[in-house]
Chain A
Amino acid sequence: MKKRGIIWSIVIGGFALAAVLVIAFANVDSRTVTNDYCMSCHSHEEADRLWKQSPHHLSKSGVVTDCAACHLPPKEDGLNRYYMIKLKMGAKDLWAKTFKNPEDIDWASKRQQDYAQHIVYNSSCVKCHQNLYPEGISDDGVAAHLHYEENAEKLNLNCVSCHLNAGHYIPGYTHQKLKGTVDTGPGEIYEAPATVEHFESFTETVPGTNAAIRMVAIPGGEFLLGSPENEPRRRPDEGPQKRVRVSSFFMAETEITWRQFWSFYNETMSEGRTPPSVIYAANSREKVDAVSGPTPPFGFPDQGWGMGERPAITMTHYAAETFCQWLSLKTGKTYRLPTEAEWEYAARGGTSTPYFFEGNPKKYAPQGLRRLLGGADTTMIARYVIYEGNSPARTLEPSQVKPNPFGLKNMLGNVMEYCADYYAPDAYDHIQDGAVDPKGPAKGSEYVIRGGCYADAADEVRCAARRHTQHDDWLRTDPQNPKSIWWYSDIKGIGFRIVCEVPETIE
């Protein structure tokens, strides 16, 4: 009997304990998803202020959507996932609260889509937004949401790709189609293009616009294309190294800026969509008198980072080429995108080291445990390059960096730059030593991009590092069909820099 009594008390006690734990857990769970609780640890004062200005706080219905409604997945998706994510976010913020100074945290970067898409869950959005077609939605909106519903999983689409301002106010943010022309700011409207009589740097002035482009004279020479096998963090497509010669050319001191790009846009844009084949045909006629330029972009091509002297971004390779065509027509010179060889020659500025300044990619971009320790002196790279280590998760103006030996700014970092060549991993196998002005493969589907961008680690911004476009993936959110030939929807850090061929009249 006694033994039985003990067993019973263990059983009953066990149940009681379990019940207490369950109730406590439920209580903790519900108390740890209130806004006050979130705010108690997450020192998100700015996030809180901007949320209160957002449609999820100032809703027409008066319903206020709390932090946890967007920043935790719905429990219906699976409790394991829910608690894992909750635990992870809690731990991260506890760490930040304990060891970090809120003022040192770059809140603006957390508002960027790159970050936001990892802390907002589509399933949370559609849990409330069950009807993606509210009355009054535009035809473009219907097309976009049909595209989302058909392809969300297949293409990994994110609600915040188009609705980044849903939860926290972003000044000026829109996902509507851009209307009309764009103000390029004050400045003299140029009447005539620059005259170039000698092989020396000049400033191109684009007639009828206030766009001026500083062009740096790059004297031709010989160099080793690619990186040696022992270069730290080298990838196989950077070799075999070839000794090649490039002829003299002019290269823009900076990446093409918004002011310059909008000048092109304002003169060539067309509101209506024309089939791509018609555009291609029109622009490749033998004598083009007027270039057919971009259609209006959807949303916010500058991502709210600012226009002016910041590099223009998110245009396609075709848009960049068409810019060159337009500029050539306006100025009577031959502008184009650089070949890969020209680009690397210009970036190196006579050096043969991983960067055109001193430094070891392994030290600048520590991996594994070393990354946690941090500590490498990045003064040198930060002086010349806008990269992961010093950018606020966005592009910066060229005035923030010092030029390379040729006087070119942002050859490395800030934005990736289009080259004229198609990409092939074995491109250098097909270049002979001693080749003059070598070109990439005659055929291909993706283009070479060089220089890395603001979001890249230091080893991605080496002079020899090669990458390529990812055309389809960079258009996956674009709901139009045919998709835009002018604007990418899913890449931010891409821009371009132009070169000008040396006129034959110059020695």
Chain B
Amino acid sequence: MKITLSIQLLFLALIFLFNGCSDKLTRVMPYEKEHFADPKMSLSPLAERAEHEGHIFLIREASAGGDSAYQGGCGCR
């Protein structure tokens, strides 16, 4: 019984240990974000183009105001 318990506890400790390892392996640390910081990783790398596309979207979808904090997509602006 004692052995079983100690094995269980050992497994528990190993889970703690390997959990720490996995976090270190999967988490992108702040100093590793060089490629994420690249301008081409931006959702809209060209500000002018994004603005133009947004304008076209609003016209085509008839959802004026749908992208701001006020005025919904009722088309009543």
Q: Do A and B bind each other?
A: no
